[in-house]
A and B are shown apart, each in its own frame.
Chain A
């Protein structure tokens, strides 16, 4: 059985180490926060906050306190606030240990596309280009194939890039892949997924 969204998030949470400052993207990456357990992780919200807390209780929403997805959130005892230039200064400056992001396509050389589909609605890259260029480690969490069954793990991206050669690890519903010299390396298979199934769903070059 391939992993579901929550299992993918739980697997991604294993990438995080005690003491890390981390940025989580929108979608499945947001769920990663539910699986960090006892690890002391500080979440960054790139609009200008370290120490992001959970959603507020109903009636306690504060319009001045939102995350990068514009959702109402809460602060923690450790929270600090700062302006967006300072926020992206710490991202660009390599102070954020890791970013866990969603993707439309990833290529075997670590190229990432997750911001634009030409001819469709153009929304913008937000902070994604800054994050992938600046943070210590980029982990992508996404479904292995699109809704048509085509691989999203490619030899080359077809969509406009968010960053070139920026991805370190890919976690999908089928397992875990690392970007290495010459292609991708299978690190782990989801329970019940065979090596053949992983290979069949992957367009990118797989190396041993």
Chain B
């Protein structure tokens, strides 16, 4: 069982194809698979559908794949930080499927758990409900949402062992576990690959069964909104 690869491009070798559905972890620029995104840019693969809460910012994260026009469709909850996204969407070059954030996360989780659909109250009576089955439970309306079954998952974690067990750090966990779960193949990039046995088995956030390939690398980890408070004067 070889899961550790030397580089992002090596880890993606043989798993990319035009028109595929990729689930990507991350929230804003926090916990995004920077290295794998760069390798996907370099690969030139196109007509991608990407399920990701956001689409990076101009020139960073998934925004790079917009600049190269490799994305055909986004499944997202919020795309407000990206001018090129707006331009491509309004000009009709890019398709956009809005998903409420929790619905998107649950669609990924469900896909990974073999659940093809579930009912939720989120979005009932809004544009999100258009065209979706409505079912009443205990007098309340719910809409049917479908699980996401991705061809490939790309995620970012803090640490991994060589069996693919992953540990995340703080709010960089976000969409990474559900995104990882819903892919046929999951490639993870981490800050450190540690020897087998050095992660506490009680504190594994995502078991290695979901993770097929792992790489280690340096991350820029750009901050989107730097907010600070003043120290009290001594």
Contacts and interface: CB of A to CB of B under 8 A. Distances in A.
Contacts of A163: 124-126
A18 B108 CA distance: 35
A160 B127 contact: yes
B100 A130 contact: yes
Interface stretch (B59-67, B170-178, B192-200, B208-216): B170-178
B173 A124 contact: no
Contact of A64 (B123, B170, B225): B170
A45 to B, nearest CB: 7
Interface residues of B, number: 56
Interface stretch (A1-9, A54-62, A172-180, A187-195): A54-62
Contacts of A123: 78-80
Contacts of B178: 83-85
B227 interface: yes
Nearest to A46: B101
A49 B174 CA distance: 9
A48 B121 contact: no
A205 interface: no
A28 to B, nearest CB: 16
B122 interface: yes
Given A47-B174, A69-B225, A164-B124, 18 more contacts: A47-B171, A55-B228, A57-B228, A61-B228, A64-B31, A64-B172, A65-B172, A66-B27, A70-B81, A72-B225, A85-B109, A91-B102, A124-B80, A127-B100, A133-B122, A133-B123, A133-B124, A161-B125
Which A-B residue pairs are the 8 nearest by beta carbons? A88-B102, A164-B125, A123-B80, A130-B102, A124-B78, A63-B221, A127-B101, A129-B100
Interface of A: 45-49, 54-58, 60-67, 69-73, 75, 81-85, 87-89, 91-92, 111, 121-130, 133-134, 160-165
